[in-house]
Structure formats: structure tokens, C-alpha cells
Chain A
Amino acid sequence: MTETTITRRSFLAASAGVAAVAATSGFVGFSAWEAEQAHAAGEKKAVHSLCNSCSSKCGFTAYVGEDGRFTEMVGDPDHPYCDGTLCARGYGYASIAWSEDRLTDPLKKNDQGKFEAISWDQALSEIAEKTNAIIASDGPQSLIMIQDPRPSGSFYTKRFMNALGSANVYTHGVSCNMSKNSGMTQAIGAADFTADVANANMIMFLGRSYADGIRPSSLHQLRDAKANGVHIVIVDPRQNASCLYADEWVPIKPGTDLALILAMAHVLIKDGKYDADYIANYTVGFEDWAQRVQEYTPEWAAEITGIPAETIERLANEMWEAAPKACIEQGWRAAFGCAHQNSGETARALCLFNTLLGCWGIEGGAYFPASASAGKLTDPKFAAPAAPAEKIIGQAEYPVSSGGMGVSTFALSTIPEGRVKGVFFYQSNCVAGYSNPAQLSEFVQAAELSVAIDVQMTETCQACQYVLPDTSYLERLEVPEFVGGKIPVVSLRDRVLEKIHPNTKPVDEIFTELANACGVGQYFQFTIDELADAQLQTIGLSLDELREKGTITFPEKALKYGLKTTWNTADKKVHFTSDACVAAGFPASPGWLEPLVMPGEGQFRLVGGKQAIHTHTQTANIEPLMAITKMYGLERIWMNADVAASMGIEDGDEVEVSSDTHTGRTRVKVTQRIEPTSIYLPSHYGCSVPEQRTAYNVGLRQMDFVPFHIEPGYGGTMSQETLVTVKKVGA
């Protein structure tokens, strides 16, 4: 035990020669650790970056020693999303840079369906040749791009596709907040708002949990709300981790939040408990909704939601008594981001209920974050390609879906019929998460051209013909990120580490070289450093200055509370009724819409949801995070304890879960923390990619149990519209 040399420390591994270092296992002894701490203290270089473990992209400072060792990360106090602290994923995900499962070379699938390493030159020229052939035969609109937005990714993917003449740039929205954003837009002309949680009198959450899908600043707000005596109500089929701060957990049958909102609106409108002045002056269509909700009594909703009628009536009245410093929180993915057939309508109704409370824009109510942005680039070398005249594929078929996100699953479904012929993915594991994986994989494999750009082999990469290796987020500079908040900021993802694998390329280089190969390189005649600096110069900053400070605030643009009286709708008003919704087949104002399926005897609705240590399927292969999953059995499904007892199932038993599309085995956590008609399956597991050696085959994958289908009108993936049966293995 005298050997105390440092041979392997996954996080601290020197970036140079990391492969050799990582191959040998070792440890750090205490004396070496102490010496290291003392040694590193005086020599650390601070480099600013943005986390990549989820879409929040929190700002942090990485401390790197002279020897290239990355020894510490500290969240930015000024970043609106992290507010000084990072979450478990942030610390864990940093290890992706040194993952032994990184993609290191461009890959091409051979005739046997196996990937072979090829040169960049070959990859770029073959992809360009196929791209141009598709454009020549079918036009640029037969090409699509699917990406999970990141600063450089958003800029370069859009520019690349527009340069080719295609409007088809999609985000991961269909499996995230598509329905929420689209429904809200129909009501208030904005895709989102922010509940002023810490300053409210009362706040109601529908399914969203700040303590599970963590954005640290939101969690701080919730913690402060409790300390401030805010009345916090959490409506969720599951007693989620945020319930630690709640006064009341209200279990609800999943997919029925709309009925709860409608019944609460019924209670308030019936008794004249609403902000009549606000409704008279700043809204249209109230009478239509008032009439519609007459039938939605608390007794009616009790049957559907499982919440007692007196509870519904009480909650509605408590919200009114707390108004205007009260609202239903905006949600994100959770209960109505993309979950059910009625998700878009739920989001619309939620905004209308909040309108009754008169909470818009005021302190303690619901506000719209202040924002900042770069100005227009005037130097001709940054000239952008013309925006294509066509709309994104899927907009016509899903008319109230958000065009900014796009119904990617629909676009993919048109591959077999030949409407879409080429598909690009950037940092998107679409196949594993956006809808039924087997179906999505089949669509992608039918394409004439399919290219995935990522840091590790994924289910999406597996389905593609070409895979291009990205650098990790720690190895590159990206386009400056402007973030809204009470005080908006601009923040930078800078190069923390030198490139680890020499044949990987950062996203900006990949798209620049692809554009050059496709003959549209004229829109990419600049480096990422030049672009970042030029964007910052438009607002009187420079890249050097942002590199130095990491996050720069715009206090002069800070949020000012005040009743919001003008909206980004055609007539500047809140819309209780929507013509677009009518055209899409919905009632003018939102009414009850059944979920697509409802569990019968012996059936359960399969619900998903985040755990604090993972982001969808993206972090499952991260060793420090998966080690937690395994140690605490976090991949287990949750089953209501009374139901389990009636079925003879005990905590830890192995069970078989079956839906129409899939059957799989896992272990069960028996708990009182879930209502009886639901089974909760954490959304992170069931990786089917052997190259992800840490994540492979751990647990079940939620989307395997969900058929391929799309929410009418709004385009969400209806991730919880599936029923399962559960039986004990060996019983």
C-alpha cells in the first residue's frame, strides 16, 4: 500500500495522452491528493464554459492546472439558470471528454451493416455527393436536420440547411415542450412564461418538478418560496422530489390535468371570482370559455382525475384568494409538454386559468423574462443565406405546432414515401427518445442519406449510414449564448481542454467543411473565434472580454414588474378563443379532450420523468452517474404499494412489463408515492447500444413501450399515451 502515484483519475486525467492514461487503472492516495491540492492551488487557470448535461447550459468556471488537469468546476453566480450552483449531472457529465466510448473517427456503414472508420475527406465528399444528388432530383426540401439546440449547433445547423435551400431544421421539441409551447402560443402569443415562485402567495405545479429536472435557479426559487411561506401545491401522479417543499401533494391520474384546470375555472367563473377588469380590457373570447366550462363541475372532474371534488373546489378558491400573486406554474416536458393527446389544449387552458387570476406581469404572479441579444452582423463575410420560402415539413399537417421546433417525427415518417430523402442529426438521439425507437430507426434506415454527428455511438447513430465524431463540449469555443432572466446575460462556452482525440472536429468545423464540400461554403468564410467576436462587437463587447468574465450581465435590461397589458397576438390580447385551434379541429376555447387511452382493469398508464442525475438518455453512459443508478436501483419502475400487495408483488421483485409494442423485465420499487393507475419508468434507461458500455442494457426504455403516434394539431409525441400490464416474473 505504499504505492501512491496517480495513474488514473477520470476527471483529472491530463488531456494529452489520455487514451494511454485511461487504459491503466490506478488510484490516488491521500498524500498524493494533498500534494496535488497544494500543488494545483497556485497554478490554476480559470476557463469559462457552459455545461452540456442538459438544455439549460449553465455557466461555470473550470479550473485547469498548467499540466492540463481539470481540477474544479464552480457554477456562475450571475448565470440566470445556475445561480451559483451546478447539479449532479454537471459534475458527472464533464467525464464525457475522457469517456472510453467516445467516437474518434468518421464512420461509414458497410454492406454488412457494420461501421468502418473512413477519412474525413471520404466522409465529406460522399455526404456532399449524396446531398447534392438529392437536391438535384427532389429539391432541398427533401433534406431535414434534427438537432438538440446548443449555441453553435443552432447557428450552424440552420445556416447549413438554409444554404442548401431547406427550411427543415427541427429541434427535439416533439419529445419535450412542443405541446406546451404551442398551446400557450395560441392563448397568449408566447411559448412560455415564468411563475414568480418565491414571491407568490400560492403556486400550483402540474407534474413539473424542479428537484428532479433540475435547473438550479428554479430550485433555489422553490426553496425560497417555502422559506417565504408561499402556499405550494404539487399535482402529480407521483410524489416527486419537489414535494419536500410542498404544503400539499395532490395525486392525479395522468393525462387528466386538463379536467382539473377546467373544473377550477368552472368554480371561479361560476362565483364571479375572476379579474373582470383585466378580462374586459385585455382579452377576447371569455364568454365562450365561461359558457363552455359550465358543464365541468368539480364532481365531474373528480371522476376523471381521481381528485376529490371538495379538494378541487378548495384549491380553486385558494388560488383566487391568493390572486393576483398566484398562478399555475408553466410546466416544461412533464405532464403536458408532449405527453398526451390533450397536452396542447391543457397548456392553452392553463394560460386562460391564470388570466382569470390577473397575475400576468406582476411580482409574485407570472412574468416574462427580460432578454438580450446580439445585433445584426454587417460585415459581408457573415452574410446569411436567404431564408427558404417554404415552411418546415409538418407545419401544414400540424397547424398549431410550433414551427420553431417542428414536428420531426412526422418529417421522418415521410421517408418511406420518398418525401424526405436525406436526414442529418446533430447532438440528437432522436431514435431512442422522440417516439417508438423501432419505428424511428426503420424510417431513418429507409433514407437515401443519413448522417449523425455526436460524441458517442447512439441508437440514432446506429440507424445512420455516416457518423461524424464531434469534439466534446469541453474542447471547443462556441457561439456566445444569450440567456433571458430577471437580469439577462451573455455567457460563453470556451475551450477548457485541448482536443483529446485528434480526428474529432468541433461542430463549427464540421458544418463549415460540409458546406464547402456541398458547394455552399461562401456562407462559412469565418472561424468560430471571428464569429463570436463579431457578434459581441455588435453590443460593444469583445470575445476577449467575455472570455475573461465568462458571463456578462445587462442590468439596464433588467425585468420590471408591471401588469402585462399587451400581448404578441394579432390584436395584442389574450385569446380565450383561437381561430387557428378551430381550423385545427379543436373547440374555439379549450374544453375536455380525453387522453387517447385510459387504463382499464389490470392496466396502467406508463409515465416517464426525469431523475436528478440524468437527462433523457444522454447521460446514462456517464460512469459517475450510472454508478449512482446501479447503487440505488434507480432504474426500477415504481408501483403503488396497495396495488402491488393485491398482485403479490414485493419491493425489489423482478416483473415483466408489457405494452402493445414491447415487453421487458426490470425490478420494481413498491411505494406509496405513486397513484394506483400509474407505473413510473424513469426516462433514462434501456440503452441498446453495446458501444455505450456503461449504459448498455441497464433497465427499460420508456419509448419502446409507446407506439409511434403524434398529437393531432400540436405535434407532440404523446409519450404517455400507452398502457402496460405488469406481472411478477416466475409467479
Chain B
Amino acid sequence: MTRYGMLIDTTNCIGCFACRTACQRQNGQDPEVDYIRYEERETGTLPFVHHETVPLQCMHCEDAPCVHVCPTGASYIAEGGVVKVDESKCIGCRYCMAACPYQVRVHNKVSGAVEKCKFCHAWVYEHPETPSNTCVTACVTGCRIFGDLDDPNSELSRAIVEKNALPIAGDLTKAKIFYVR
């Protein structure tokens, strides 16, 4: 089985928004529709200040609250473990937005439907040998790795072990994005 996941190394994230604009550009989104949002944290006092940027997007949870609450089955888990939204079934009730612990779903005011990171789904299926995501290839500092969590030899699986990467909220939803912080 293939189980797609991602690693984000926030110790190498400068918060430059390249992943967001590349995602919007390659996915043809309107400027306000963001699949990636950022949390910033500042600790310490001058000059010993620590500043961290954490990019957040759909975690493609195995135990996905959005899928559980969706009244029409529009949110579902597809091949490769990718959480998807079938917009033809979405009634725009936004239950999923309320249920998502990571607050990474966006309501498209124009379509009325809810959207979110697709793990560049179409591209990934067309390039099974070199699956990647726009945000991964666009990252200026290379802080993202995409791959198959079920392949212990994938770059992703090895990096998760080496860097001791963990989901942002522990095992809350069995998220498939792993963070180095």
C-alpha cells in the first residue's frame, strides 16, 4: 500500500510564503484561497529571542474529523490516504472547517465549497516514480519532503526517523505531516 505523507522541518523554515504562492499559482487559485497557513511564535527577550514559523496545511489524517462530520460524504479518504473533497457533493455547511483541529480548510466564497490541500493529487498519480508536491519543489530552503510513509526506504520515512519528526498534535488524528521543530 502507498500512504502519502510529508515532513516539514521548521528549523529550516524562514516563513517566506513561497510555498503558499507557488501552491496558488500552480493550482490556479484566487489570492485569498490559501491551502497553507502559518503560525508564528516568538519566545525569549532581546537579544536572546527565538522565532519560529510553522506552516500548516491539511494533514491528511487517517482518523480525519472532517470526514467523520461531513453530512454528504463530500470529504473522503482516497487512494494513497489522501483526504479529498468532492465539490459536487459539498453543500458548504462548513462542519468540516469547525471540526478540523488544524484550521486548514478554506471556504471558497465564489464556489461556496470548502477546499484544502490536495497533496497535488493529480500530479502525484501521474508521476508515481517521483511523487512530489508543488510546495515541496518550491520551498526555497528545502524544508519539505514528500513521499510514501509505507516505504521504509523512502527519503521521507528515513528523514522522519533521523530527525525524530512528529505530527504537530501528537497522535490526535493520526496526521500524516510530520514536523521537525
| Residues on A facing B (Cβ under 8 Å) | 1-4, 6, 8-12, 25-31, 33-34, 36-38, 41, 71-74, 85-92, 94, 211, 214, 216, 219-220, 223, 239, 241-244, 249-251, 612-613, 623-628, 631-632, 640-642, 671-675
Q: Is the CB of A673 within 8 A of B42?
A: yes
Give residues of chain B (86-119) contacting chain A, Cβ–Cβ below 8 Å.
86-92, 108, 110-113, 115, 118
Q: Is the CB of B138 within 8 A of A10?
A: no
9-residue interface stretch from B120-128, B146-154, B167-175:
B120-128
Give residues of chain B (123-164) contacting chain A, Cβ–Cβ below 8 Å.
123, 126, 137-142
B2 at interface, CB cutoff 8 A = no
Q: Is the CB of A91 within 8 A of B49?
A: no
Nearest residue, chain B, Cβ from A623: B31
Q: Is the CB of B31 within 8 A of A33?
A: no
Q: Is the CB of A216 within 8 A of B47?
A: no
Q: Is the CB of A673 within 8 A of B49?
A: yes
Q: Is the CB of A1 within 8 A of B89?
A: yes
Taking A4-B88, A85-B138 as given, write out 6 further A-B residue pairs in contact, using a Cβ cutoff of 8 Å, ordered by the A residue number: A1-B91, A9-B29, A30-B87, A33-B28, A94-B25, A673-B42
The verdict on A673 contacting B15 (CB below 8 Å), with A219-B141, A624-B21, A624-B31 known, is no
Bound Cα distance A249, B49 (Å): 9
Q: Is the CB of B85 within 8 A of A675?
A: no
B23 CB, min distance to chain A CBs, angstroms: 9
Nearest residue, chain A, Cβ from B13: A244
CB < 8 Å neighbour of A9 from B11, B14, B16, B28: B28
Q: Is the CB of A29 within 8 A of B113?
A: yes
Nearest residue, chain B, Cβ from A223: B141
Q: For A72, what are the chain B residues with a Cβ–Cβ distance below 8 Å?
A: 25-26
Q: Is the CB of A241 within 8 A of B14?
A: yes
Q: Is the CB of B18 within 8 A of A640?
A: no
CB < 8 Å neighbour of A612 from B11, B14, B29, B115: B14
Bound Cα distance A77, B14 (Å): 21
Q: Is the CB of A214 within 8 A of B140?
A: yes
CB < 8 Å neighbour of A27 from B26, B91, B110: B110
Q: For B141, what are the chain A residues with a Cβ–Cβ distance below 8 Å?
A: 219-220, 223
Q: Is the CB of B14 within 8 A of A31?
A: no
A/B pair count, beta carbons within 8 Å: 169
Bound Cα distance A4, B13 (Å): 35
Interface centre among B15, B16, B34 (most CB of A within 10 A): B16
Interface centre among B34, B47, B90, B108 (most CB of A within 10 A): B47
Bound Cα distance A214, B16 (Å): 9
Q: For A625, what are the chain B residues with a Cβ–Cβ distance below 8 Å?
A: 21
Q: Is the CB of A1 within 8 A of B112?
A: yes
Q: For A71, what are the chain B residues with a Cβ–Cβ distance below 8 Å?
A: 26, 28
13 A-B pairs whose Cβ atoms sit less than 8 Å apart in the complex: A1-B89, A11-B24, A27-B30, A28-B29, A37-B126, A85-B139, A88-B17, A88-B18, A92-B25, A241-B15, A624-B31, A632-B38, A641-B45
Q: For A223, what are the chain B residues with a Cβ–Cβ distance below 8 Å?
A: 12, 141-142
CB < 8 Å neighbour of B86 from A30, A36, A640: A30
Q: For A632, what are the chain B residues with a Cβ–Cβ distance below 8 Å?
A: 38
B20 at interface, CB cutoff 8 A = yes
B1 at interface, CB cutoff 8 A = no
Give residues of chain B (60-105) contacting chain A, Cβ–Cβ below 8 Å.
84-92
Q: Is the CB of A640 within 8 A of B46?
A: yes
The verdict on A673 contacting B25 (CB below 8 Å), with A219-B140, A251-B46 known, is no
Bound Cα distance A216, B139 (Å): 10
The verdict on A672 contacting B44 (CB below 8 Å), with A71-B26, A72-B26, A214-B16 known, is yes
Q: For B89, what are the chain A residues with a Cβ–Cβ distance below 8 Å?
A: 1
Nearest residue, chain B, Cβ from A622: B31
CB < 8 Å neighbour of A91 from B126, B138, B139: B138
Bound Cα distance A85, B134 (Å): 11
Q: Which 8 A/B pairs are nearest by Cβ-Cβ distance?
A: A37-B122, A9-B28, A27-B111, A612-B16, A91-B21, A627-B31, A623-B31, A211-B14
The verdict on A671 contacting B138 (CB below 8 Å), with A1-B113, A29-B111, A91-B24 known, is no
B41 CB, min distance to chain A CBs, angstroms: 12
Bound Cα distance A720, B139 (Å): 32
B22 CB, min distance to chain A CBs, angstroms: 5
CB < 8 Å neighbour of B126 from A11, A41, A239, A612: A41
The verdict on A628 contacting B14 (CB below 8 Å), with A244-B51, A672-B46 known, is no
